[in-house]
Structure 1
Amino acid sequence: MPQDSGRGRDAWAVGAAYEPYIGRWSRAVAAEFVGRLGASPGERWLDVGCGTGAVSRAALDGGGAGELVGVDSSEGFVRHARRLVSAPRAHFVVGDAMALPVPEAVAGAVVSGLTLNFVPDPARAVAEMVRAARPGSVVGAYVWDYAEGMQLIRRFWEAAAALDERAGDLDEGTRFPLCRPGPLRALFSGAGLSAVDVTAIDVPTRFRDFDDYWTPFLGGQGPAPGYATALPEDRRARLRERLRSSLPAAVDGSIPLTARAWMVLGRSPVRP
């Protein structure tokens, strides 16, 4: 999950607000991500930017993790992860993705969910992930496809840009060019990882009704909610109504969208 250091206008700290906005959908992606990793049972896992614990929970429940250490720079997220993943095999600590508080070659699986695009120096963070991985271990990450496939956020910014030309300055689709297959592959290959592959993970994001979609944007967690909560009430109301009229709606009033994440996977180098 996103790291605090260097976020600036991207506020990520309150787990209770993050969960209805992104956390509930990240859990679905995390389960698929962990299932595709191919890590051996009983390995020690390191979850970099663990956030509220979506990947950590999936690693312990379905990934066969023998032990897990989660690192995040947000104390609030670490506290939330400890509550969500209250297993004796899991340990969560406050730390920086670019200077991981772990020894070299300590983990048999090193992972990161929805973090790398928020780190000031992603190459340094991946280098740290490689440092922490045992030779030949799996190293993997995923980020949202902000430019196209992460529809709940994409729809928000399209509506915002139609009302405010300055909204584009905050749009993650523009701000985070890393979140595409080519840059992700180059990032992992540049860190010395082998057999690097990038694939899409698509999950349904069906909202019960418009309020289920809109209310999480009022929690202030992330660029889009930060933008929404900073608007004067009249402009926020116009944005809300534009979204209400533009989103697809099923007969029962639910809003069927999908979310795409890009998963990148590689193997740490075998040292002589």
Structure 2
Amino acid sequence: MNKIQRPNIDDAFALTNLAANHRVSSYPHLQTSVAMLHHAYAQYEAAQGNAFAVLPVPMNLQAAAYLKAHFKSPPQDLQHIKTLRQAEEHRTCPMCGSLHRGTLDHLLPQSDHSAFVVFSLNLVPACKCNSIRQNLLIGPNPGERILHPYFDHCLRERLVRADFQDLGLVPKISLQLCVDGAHPEFAAVRFHVRSIVQRTAVLGQLNTNWANLCRKPSLVIRALNVNPTSHAALQDVLQNEIETLDDAHDSKNNWYSMFVAGLLEPPVLAWLFQQLNTPGRLPNGPLPG
């Protein structure tokens, strides 16, 4: 989860050229839709991709089918779609925080919003998390919607962390929001985390990190190859680690930062310090549990 740079594409120009291109299968069937789609693109951008604010755009079935086909196999006028698909596949998923993307998907689902099938601001690089949600876009309660990584500035904030309970070698691990009801986008953040992040393998990753931490702490926090001499020293180590992870993955909500944010919670910090400094335990050895 993070806010990312929006693509710098002149979608109106690309669509106009596509509609006039007699070498593509859709010619001339898109020409009557060009003006309407130009208006649709402008209102989507003005609404900043907010699912509650983007107005529905009626499309005839034939034009919608051609646009969907062009998304799957972009002609020359839509080569930027191929570029967006292939660029930065290895980077943090802006939708869930996993450490890869791998595909280019629609924020407003193409089944219900065919006008935006090839619109670059509706095409988000993501991992399979975005397809798992299928057509889910808004919730039943006020403000519940999927966040948009091109527009929602709150994605720059730390929104979610690991929550560790029943501390030991096999604790109970879940996700906890870092914002409360006073946050202006609380409903959207909560809905996004519940609808996308919690449906991924994030809890599996957090459990693996915990197991590695207990087996050999430096596997997860490299500076823990030596035992910190105080609670404050341990807190400094973890704070430095999370800042490094945030920077390296360009996200405060990547899965590794979520893990360390959970370790920084006072009860967990106290437990970890006690475990690291158990009498007789060797530096970087297993935690007694």
The normalised TM-score by structure 2 is 0.24
Higher relative CO (CA 8 A, sep ≥ 6), structure 1 or 2? 1
> Quick check: which has more Rg, 1 or 2?
2
Larger fraction in strand: 1
The normalised TM-score by structure 1 is 0.25
